[in-house]
Amino acid sequence: MSVSIAYYITGHGYGHTVRSMEIIKELFRRRPDATVHVRTSAAAWLFEELRFFHFHYHATRLDVGALQSTSYNVDRAATLAAYADLIERKQKLLDQEIAFLTQEKITAIVSDITPLAFAAAAALRLPAIAEANFTWDWIYQEWLADFPHYAPVIDDIRADYRRADLLLRLPFHGDMSVFSNIVDLPLVARRSSLTRQQARDRLADYVDVKKKIILLGLRQADISHVPAAALTQLTDWHFITTSPALQAGTITCIPEGRLPFQDMVRGCDVILSKPGYSMVAEVIANQTPLVYVTRNDFCEDPILRQALNRYAVCEEMSMEDFNAGHWQEALQKIAAKPALWPFIANHGAETAAERILEYVK
């Protein structure tokens, strides 16, 4: 039987795309003859690895995610208003997706974690599989205290999620009780195949690895107000990033695609980032310490911080110290911590691919 999967991925951040990519690669390893259509607002370049398979990228925006000015600030009112607007256009969007699924002879859909995908699948009686560690109704629910008139948005999202046949639930998850059939996955993360020294040697083509290396998992807007002089005073450290917008002074940009990101994670001494799911998973999978700055606007953060404290070497930096460029104390603390990495299974992509293909048969 031919396998043709429509894979819906929310365009919010990189994390949903990164983990979905790992699962899609495993699908192709098991079924090289499969066809996968990705429907997302995430950038096309993120899927470059899939160009040699039967893969098709379709730019489309079918959910909202969380509208942010920085990695640490969400505009809750604008997010809920944007989703309410999407619901106003929902029937048109749904008709569009039904036509697409029919035209491409799709045999199953997977979604991380776009709600409308499940409504489209139900209309055609296609198997519908969710893959996530949180749902948008859970994220938005606590916002209703300030914006109670958006309660119908939550109801609409939940109605779509209830149409899923299966949830592949990732570790470090929130309340996902909206799904009736749940299978827990091991960790899904990009894993470097290199030793730490091999990864370090690759970084040596770009930076002086005699210094300690910090990978910045941040946006330009996150550190634009951090005093540049504060970073230059950290003379024992050198910063690397994949963002050209961050390159300045002691920050070296290694452009996307030059080195696999997981090898950069593996080769550096410390990562400084928000505690988002993808970063938490890759820190744990590649055993690289993380200094994180807490995000107060994200209800998943306490769960992810708990995961870090259990499975990783980590240190919290206050937002005040981060903004002031007072980074030295947190970096000294994490450098002094023992390298203790409790075991956690990280073959979630393989397990997810197996489960998805079971539904396609």
DSSP secondary structure of 38-87: EEESS-GGGGGGGTTSSEEEEE--------EEETTEE-HHHHHHHHHHHH
Residue 335: predicted pLDDT: 94
> In the predicted model, what is the mean pLDDT of residues 80-95?
98
pLDDT at residue 283 is higher than 90: yes
Rounded to two decimals, the pTM is: 0.96
pLDDT > 70 fraction of the chain, expressed in percent and rounded: 99
Question: Mapping DSSP to helix (H, G, I), strand (E, B) and coil, where does residue 275 land?
Answer: coil
The band of 213, judged by pLDDT with boundaries at 50, 70 and 90, is: very high
Residue 223: predicted pLDDT: 85
Q: CA separation (Å) from 114 to 53, 63, 174?
A: 24, 6, 16
Residue 125: predicted pLDDT: 98
pLDDT at residue 354 is higher than 90: yes
The band of 231, judged by pLDDT with boundaries at 50, 70 and 90, is: confident
Residue 281: predicted pLDDT: 97
Residue 147: predicted pLDDT: 98
The band of 158, judged by pLDDT with boundaries at 50, 70 and 90, is: very high
Question: Do the beta carbons of residue 297 and residue 276 sit within 8 Å?
Answer: no
Q: What is the mean pLDDT of the chain?
A: 95
Residue 33: predicted pLDDT: 96
> In the predicted model, what is the mean pLDDT of residues 241-257?
84
pLDDT at residue 249 is higher than 80: no
Reported as a single tens digit per residue, the pLDDT across 107-144 is 999 999 999 999 999 999 999 999 999 999 999 999 99
DSSP secondary structure code for residue 29 in this structure:
H
- For each of the domains in the chain, give its residue range(s) and CATH number, in order of start: 4-188+347-360 (3.40.50.2000), 196-335 (3.40.50.2000)
Reported as a single tens digit per residue, the pLDDT across 284-293 is 999 999 999 9
Residues 136, 134: Cα–Cα separation, whole Å: 7
Reported as a single tens digit per residue, the pLDDT across 180-209 is 999 999 999 999 999 999 999 999 999 999
> In the predicted model, what is the mean pLDDT of residues 1-23?
93
Residue 357: predicted pLDDT: 97
